[in-house]
Every structure is written in structure tokens, then in C-alpha cells.
Structure 1
Amino acid sequence: MLIPHARRPTSNVAITIASVALTATGFLLYHTWSDTDSWSLAKPLPVLTTSDGIPKKIWYKLGPKGLTNATRAWTNTCIDGNPGYAHEFMTDESGDAYVAARFASRPDIVASYLGLTIPILKADLLRYLLLVADGGVWSDLDVSCAGVPMDAWVPAAHRADAGLVVGWEFDVGWGENIIRQFTSWLIMARPNSPHLWAVVEDIVQGIQDKTAEHNVTVAGLQLAMVGEVVDFTGPRRLTRGVLKSLARSLNVTAIDQANITHLVEPKLLGDVLILPGFAFAASANTYDEKLRAGLGPPLVKHHYAGTWKNKNGGEVAG
């Protein structure tokens, strides 16, 4: 079951905090949304929500070695700074159980997720699946909160409408040739965001395309086969999927990025709230003195631990 206030791990040993109880008989509770929906999810337990409907829960994913002193300190800033929020540290085992149970009606998603052997690809896909199924706040382990309570991250004027909250990673100070992307280290969402569903569908299709191209199983995929992780499952994939879905929901051919870039304050487009670069990625954006005077405070700091940047695509046990 979901644990309302899951205890943070107290050692570097990854502690399995099962999000879904899988009994020996495989008994599951399912919630089917409507006769017209093509999918169903295992029924979640209630989680406190903010006034904007975004659940008050912070999701993390541990590698095989658990928390380091640094990641424990960083995550503590968000956990302790938001006492009204539940938090959960997913592990490889609990992540597998969660996806198998919550997406049982989508065997293509389950097979794709469980088949992946590259840690960063699974971690990327898991964050989108968690937010699709239960919503809340996804945070990478190397993100610390900067002192502004999460309840204040969404301006009051947008709380009724914002179903997905993202922030620019590269926006101001990079010129016009940069490939702009949303951060994937911090995402906020209501459950069942159609835009995150689009990201999931694109990733699953990408996995199917690559396995066919290289004539391998999902487990046989290697980093060299999928190309750039940022494009395959990471922030560029997130950005493309969200903007594509948002354009579809607004009945336009494409989103004009001129309307959502160079931001100095949050911008709501449809049900997607886009935060300026300083919100989630202050160190990655450069503002001139005039602009800096009118900016709000950073919300988080990303410490760029980069534990996935190796030949394994992530941390391994041992």
C-alpha cells in the first residue's frame, strides 16, 4: 500500500518501501475510470492535496546503494521543509511492483518498464509513471529545496488550472540556438495528466522502435542503441511530449515557443504552468542586472551529481 509518511532510509542500504502490496495470490484492487477510457489503475489510497489538486507527496528513487550523506542532506531540505507532504523512496524492487500493479491494464507499459536494464532509462520512465498514476512532486536525489514551501510554488492565480508544473532548464542567457528543455529533475503534476501520458506513450513507442531496429529484446537494449538519453527518455523527450500534447489540447499545430520562453514569471498555457529558469535551474540561466532585480527566489538547487553518466547508465550494486 502507499505509505502516507514513509520513513526516510537510515542507511545506505536500499530499503524497499512497497508502493503496492502484492500478495502471494496476486490479489489487486483496480479502479476503472469510465467506460470510454482504455486503461485502468490499481486504486490508490487517499493522499492530502493542495488547493490546486496536486497531491502533497514527494517521490524519490533510490539506486542499489541507497542514500549517500550528500543526497540524504539534500532530500532532507525538501522533506523537513514541507512537513505537510508525504514522501516515498522507491527502490528497484518497489518500483517494479508499483508499475506491474498500477499499469496492469497496459501490458506494453509493464513489459517495457520491467524489461529495461539501463538504470537511467527506468528511472526516467518511472518518474512519469508515478506522476501519471498518483501525481505529486517528483524530485531527483541531488535536488535540495531553497526554503520556499512547496505550497507556494504555484501562484494563487493559477492553482485552479495548473495540472502540470514544469520549469525551464535552459532559457535565459543561452542565445537562440540552444535546444530548450524542461527540467526532469523536478516535476509537479495532478494524477492522469494527458501531457505526461503523451510522454509515456512516446517512450514506450521509442523502446519498441529501437528493439525492432536492433533486433533485440527490451532487456537487450544498450545505451549505444538508444542514442542520447536526454532525447530518448530525459528532459528533451519530456519537453517534446508535453508541448506536442499541449498543442493538441489547444487545437493548434504547434506551440510557439516565443510565447513561453525568456520568462521572468510563471506562464500558464492551457493546464501547463511553466516556471522561469531561475525557479528550478537558477545556476543554468544567466540574467542581466536589470532582470535579476525583478526575479522571485529560486525554489530548488540542482547539484548535478550525474550518477547515471557512466557506461552502465546508472548506479550498480556492489
Structure 2
Amino acid sequence: MPTFRKSLLAALCLIAVIVILRASRSSDLPNAPGYRPVQKIFEEKENAQAHPETQGKKSKERQQQQHLGATATAPLRERLRYQFPYDLAPSFPAYIWQTWKYQPSSFWFSEELRVPEASWTDMNPGFVHEVIPDDTQRDLIKYLYGMVPDVFEAYDSMPLAVLKADFFRYLVLLARGGIYSDIDTHAIQPVIHWLPEKLDKSTVGLVVGIEADPDRPDWADWYSRRLQFCQWTIMSKPGHPILRDIVAHITEHALRMKRAGILKKGKMDRTVVEFTGPAAWTDAVFRYFNNPEYFNIPAGDKNITYEDFTQQVDYRKVGDTLVLPITSFSPGVGQMGAEDVDHPMAFVKHDFGG
């Protein structure tokens, strides 16, 4: 019957429209496809080794390209760019990365950390939340950076756990993206609330917060930089140039000190803060903001400095990087203009457990 056929056709069209709409919105969901738990990452590698015939043509071509890129004599930054290309358009990966000595399921996991650790899962139920224990970190970095062996060598040669912990956050975000946050942080608001609704998410590749803005004459007695960016919580898409730069920067200095025989506790020519900590991270962010490769900087124009962010109380977007005020990742500290934890822009609370 014509009427029945028209009704059937209309129903099919409606179903198709619904499917298309859902597919078009899937990349905006927190559990966007394409990112797997750590165990799945290792399983993928094992399956590929056990059943090479099941790999698609594109996968084989990528492996061949990675092999060529890893053995090339190109500078480290170029090899990192090749291995971890940066694509601004996709959504932020739905990963939450944390590290600790033990997994939360372990009897030895500290009781005082259970509430802050659980807050990340509770606030972000669609995200893959991974707490990487010490005995897994090395294997994960070796897997992710197998094609860039000097990076893994630098990580594996670090003489202090705090250096590895600092380095790990940059490494995992460069390779996989998502959010890194220290194990002693509390999620106050869901991650999807961190970026303003009016902002086009496809124009943001990294989110960083201000850690310290000490407007006092003796600031150098307390901090390494007049304004420091927070590195206990970072949000990024894979391959971001700031992450690529700091990974290369740390690797180069680590291998330099190793060759000189001073990459040892008590012998390094850089402090932890300057080598891998907030000073190194802050410098990397400002290097990016003032790099003519990424920004159109007119001749004679002044550099972007702390003066452009001091006393910031709202969002500030610089290129593809969103800078949050001190309240966002340091609420309740009672100084430098930070508001309390109930402020609308308070997203993460840090317990400073060391």
C-alpha cells in the first residue's frame, strides 16, 4: 500500500536522523571512543604481537612509519612531533591519570587518600580513571615511548621518585592526553564544567591553572617564579606543543647530566623544582606563548610575561591554551587572591600532601 510504504519510509528516515545526530554528538561525550584503560593498552600490544595477520593495512603502515621515525637522526622535538601528532579539533580524551605507590584496591593504599581519589570517579563517572602504581609506571612509559628510546632512558635514569613522578605526568599527557592530577587532590566540580559553555572546545588544546601569584617584595624567598603555573593538575589533548617541549627539555638535561656522571642524588646541577617541577613547567608555558612558530608576534612586540596573568580572576585564552585563575586549582589557600572552595570557579582542591 502506498500509505504503508510512505509511513515505513518516514520511520526509516527518522531512525536514520536519530542515529546521525547521536553519532555527531559522540565526540562531545566524556566517554569519547578511542581511549582505553591501561590494561587494554597492554592487551592491544600483546594481541598485535600474537596475531600480526589481524592488523589492518593502516596499522602496519603506521608501525613502519614509527620504526623509521624512531631510527631517524632528526632532533628529539621533531621525533616527538612525529610520534605524537597534535590535533586540536577532537574532544579532550576522557582519561584521568594519577600515580601512587599502590593501586586503590591494595591493602597498602593510604586511607587518607581514598576520599580524594574516589572524588574523581564520583564527579566524572564517564571517564577512565587510572591510578598508576609504581610497579606499572615504568612498563607504561617503556611501551608509550619505545620508539623514542632516549626519552625512556631519561625517565629510567631519574635518581629520585619525585623526578619520575613529575616526568610521568608530562609523558602520559603527551602520549595519551586527558587530565593528570596528584593523588592528594579533590575533584570539586566535574571536568565538563571546567571550560565555559560559550567557549568552542575545538579551539582549546591545553588547560592550565595559576598556582602562585605572590605580589610581595620577597616573593623569590618563597617561589621560583613571580607567577607559577600549577602542575599538580593539567588537562591536555595528546601531542600538545608545551608537553612536547618540556619532555624534550627534561630529557636533554637528564641525559646531559647522566653523561657527566651527575644524574645522582645530591649531585645534580638543577633542583627538582627547576628540573622537572613547577619552575620548569612555567618556563615551558611561557616559551610556548612567546614562540613565533605558534603565534604571530609582530617585530618589537613585548613578550607575554607574568604581568599578563597577575591578579587574574577569570578565564584567559592564549592561542589554544586556557589559563584558569588561582581559585580554580588552589581554592581556600587564603592568599594571593584565591577564593574559597565554594566559589563557582573552584574546580580542584590540593591537600599539599607532598
| TM more than 0.5 | yes
- Asked whether the 8 Å contact 1:19–1:97 carries over to 2, the reply is no
Aligned equivalents of 1:186, 1:224: Cα separation in 2: 29
Structure 2 residue corresponding to 1:116, chosen from 142, 151, 158: 158
Q: Find the counterpart in structure 1 of residue 92 from structure 2.
A: 54
Q: Distance in 1 between matches of 2:240 and 2:175?
A: 9
In structure 1, C-alpha distance between the alignment counterparts of 2:36 and 2:47, rounded to whole Å: 24
Q: Deviations over 1:232-254 (max 9, x none)?
A: 10111111012102311214473
CA displacement at 1:257 relative to structure 2: 2.4
User: How well do the aligned residues superpose, as a CA RMSD in angstroms?
Assistant: 3.4
In structure 2, what is the Cα distance between the partners aligned to 1:191 and 1:285? 34
Equivalent residues of 1:118, 1:223 under 8 A apart: no
2:250 paired with 1:203: yes
What is the correspondence of 1:292-303 to structure 2 with a 5 Å cutoff?
Answer: 296-303=344-351
1:75 aligns with 2:120: no
Matched residues, number? 280
- Structure 1 match to 2:353: 305
In the superposition, the TM-score normalised over structure 1's length comes to 0.76
For the residue of structure 2 that corresponds to 1:144, the secondary structure is strand
Q: 1:119 to 1:161 in 2, by over 3 A?
A: same
- Aligned twin of 1:170: 212
2:204 match: secondary structure:
coil
Unaligned regions of 5+ residues in structure 2, if any?
1-33, 53-58, 220-224
Deviates more, 1:200-209 or 1:124-133: 200-209
Give 1:260 shift.
2.3
Instruction: Report deviation, 1:160.
Output: 2.3
The CA distance in 2 between the partners of 1:122 and 1:206, in whole Å, is: 14
| 2:283 match: secondary structure | helix
Per-residue CA shift, 1:123-181, capped at 9, x if unaligned? 111100100001000010000011x211010113152211110100112x643663221
Sort the Cα spacing of 1:288 and 1:143 in 2 relative to 1 into closer, same or farther, 3 A. Answer: closer
| Distance verdict in 2 for CA 1:125–1:236, change over 3 Å | same
Task: State the identity as a percent.
Answer: 25
Match in the other structure for 1:243: 286
Match of 1:277 in 2: 326
Task: Pick which of 203-212 and 245-254 moved more.
Answer: 245-254
Q: Which has the higher helix share?
A: 2
CA distance in 2, matches of 1:158, 1:83: 23
Q: Shift in Å at residue 285 of structure 1? A: 5.6
Which has the higher relative contact order, 1 or 2, with Cα contacts under 8 A spaced 6 or more apart?
Answer: 1
Residue of structure 2 in register with 1:12 after alignment:
none
- Shift of the 122–18 alpha-carbon distance from structure 1 to 2, 3 Å rule, reads farther
- Cα drift, residue 261 of structure 1: 2.4
TM superposition shift of 1:223 = 4.4
Match of 1:153 in 2: 194
Task: Flag structure 1 segments of 5+ consecutive residues without an equivalent.
Answer: 7-16, 44-50, 307-318
State the AA in 1 paired with 2:138: D
User: Using a 3 Å threshold, how does the CA distance of structure 1 residues 181 and 131 change in structure 2: closer, same or farther?
Assistant: same
Q: Is the 8 A contact 2:180 2:234 kept in 1?
A: yes
Q: Is the 8 A contact 1:52 1:162 kept in 2?
A: no
Structure 2 CA distance for partners of 1:229 and 1:19, relative to 1, 3 Å? farther
2:129 paired residue number: 87
- The answer to whether the 8 Å contact 2:98/2:131 transfers is yes
The alpha carbon displacement at 1:111 in A equals 0.6
Partner letter of residue 145 of structure 1? Answer: A
Of the candidates 276, 280, 303, which is equivalent to residue 233 of structure 1? 276
Partner of 2:101: 63
Q: SS of the counterpart of 2:179? A: strand
Residues 84 and 238 in structure 2, CA contact (< 8 A), matched pair in contact too: no
Counterpart amino acid of 2:91?
Answer: G
The answer to whether the Cα contact below 8 Å between 2:180 and 2:232 also exists between their aligned partners in 1 is yes
**Partners of 1:280 and 1:42 in 2: CA distance:** 27
- Contact 1:42–1:101 under 8 Å retained in 2: no
- Rounded to whole Å, the distance in 2 between the matches of 1:245 and 1:38 is 18
User: Which protein is bigger by CA-based radius of gyration?
Assistant: 2
Q: 3-state DSSP class of the match of 1:168?
A: strand
Q: 1:161 to 1:24 in 2, by over 3 A?
A: closer
Alpha-carbon contact 1:158-1:268 (below 8 Å) kept: no
Deviations along 1:259-314, whole A, 9 cap, x unmatched? 2221110100011111000000123463669x98xx633111100111xxxxxxxx
Shift of 1:25: 10
1:102 aligns with 2:144: yes
CA contact 1:20–1:97 (8 Å) conserved in 2 = no
After TM superposition, give the deviation of residue 224 of structure 1 in Å.
4.7
Instruction: Give the aligned residue type for 1:231.
Output: E
